Amino acid sequence: MPELDLQEHPHRRYNPLTGEWVLVSPHRTKRPWQGKVEKTAPEDKPHYDPTCYLCPGNTRAGGVETPHYSGTYVFTNDYAALLEETPSAQYERGLLLARSERGLCRVLCFTPRHDLTLAEMDAADIRPIVDAWVEQYAEIGAKPHIHYVQIFENKGAMMGASSPHPHGQIWANETLPNEILKEHASQQAYWQSQRRCLLCDYVQTELAIGERIVTQNAHFVAVVPFWAIWPFETMVLSKRHMTSLLDLQEAERDALADIVQRVTARYDNLFETSFPYSMGFHQKPTDGGAHEAWHLHLHFYPPLLRSATVRKFMVGYEMLATPQRDITAESSAARLRALSEVHYRRVA
């Protein structure tokens, strides 16, 4: 069989983390765009917004006052999707099955500053956020009825963020969510068959090839994964094997803050806009198991495609058949790699 040209021929790429495929159509990058053009959010935001319920001292929905915090601030979501007091119950009618789900939802304000995103912070300012991520994972994961802790951020109105104030969320489940189940099964199967970690092997492959690496430091590497679905999707992986945020040593906490700043600054610099994305950590469940096959990693899923106003849609074929992309992972990585890590708003 002849060698496949990844930059010219339509092809499928396999995601070993989920066992799923993505269709890549590199020849379609030349097609004109006449679809929806998004509006961009205003660039200049105040340090403090009296109408923002996440700014210090303001009143949130329901009458709760946000304290005058000076660093990170965590609180229980006022409209939580999961509740700890949910009773154990089941509904079953033939093929119709529902089971109750206990859990909790918290909000993590990154900073009291209304106008600062991760991309515009210094790594030293992100380090307390890393510490908060670790603390929340440890505290919530210790609850006996919590078996998975999902730490994430939706940045920008395009990704459904209800507030422009820089913040993330922590949702914790009694059971393992769908994406975690898929990654859990794949990593465990690889561990049992190869006696090695799947993502440790993947990190070594990407470091050896180099063309999908966006940036790296001593402890983490950011790549556009070979099987990426979103145009400028990236994944941040620890270089040494660790199963969760709890394994981070002091220098690695600093390094995680550093690489988050590097990746997000490059995103903003790509189209010179506050780049929207959903990002989140995947790490071992908190059900008491060792889960040695798990490897700590962070996914960034940004929707922008051609500019700050043209996004990628998951519709039609993607919804009914298989995810599809035009720009290759290698091309995306090259564009991100070529960008400065100095935020464009800081350039004189």
Count of domains for the chain: 1
User: Helix 250-271 crosses helix 329-337 at what angle (to 10 degrees)?
Assistant: 100
Q: What is the pLDDT of residue 222?
A: 98
Q: Report residue 2 CA to chain centroid gap.
A: 36
Active-site residue flag, 167: yes
CATH number for position 70: 3.30.428.10
pLDDT digits (tens, 9 = 90+) for 131-186: 999 999 999 999 999 999 999 999 999 998 989 999 999 999 999 999 999 999 99
Separation in Å, CA 145 to CA 134, 174, 181, 286: 19, 6, 17, 9
> Is pLDDT of 31 > 70?
no
Domain that holds residue 109: 43-346
pLDDT digits (tens, 9 = 90+) for 332-343: 999 999 999 999
> In sequence order, what are the residues at sequence separation of 6 or more whose Cβ sits closer than 8 angstroms to the Cβ of residue 47?
113, 114, 115
Look at residue 27 and tell me if it is in a domain: no
Look at residue 19 and tell me if it is in a domain: no
Look at residue 25 and tell me if it is in a domain: no
pTM for the whole thing?
Answer: 0.94
What's the chain's average pLDDT?
A: 94
Pair of tokens at residue 22: 């993505």
CB 6 within 8 A of CB 26: yes
What gap in Å lies between CA 17 and CA 296, rounded to an integer?
12
Look at residue 32 and tell me if it is in a domain: no
Look at residue 262 and tell me if it is in a domain: yes
pLDDT digits (tens, 9 = 90+) for 233-289: 999 999 999 999 999 999 999 999 999 999 999 999 999 999 999 999 999 999 999
Of residues 114, 147, 165, 167, which has the active-site annotation?
167
Q: Report residue 262 CA to chain centroid gap.
A: 14
> Is pLDDT of 12 > 50?
yes
Look at residue 267 and tell me if it is in a domain: yes
CB 263 within 8 A of CB 298: no
Look at residue 21 and tell me if it is in a domain: no
Look at residue 132 and tell me if it is in a domain: yes
Pair of tokens at residue 337: 């790699």
What gap in Å lies between CA 25 and CA 27, rounded to an integer?
6
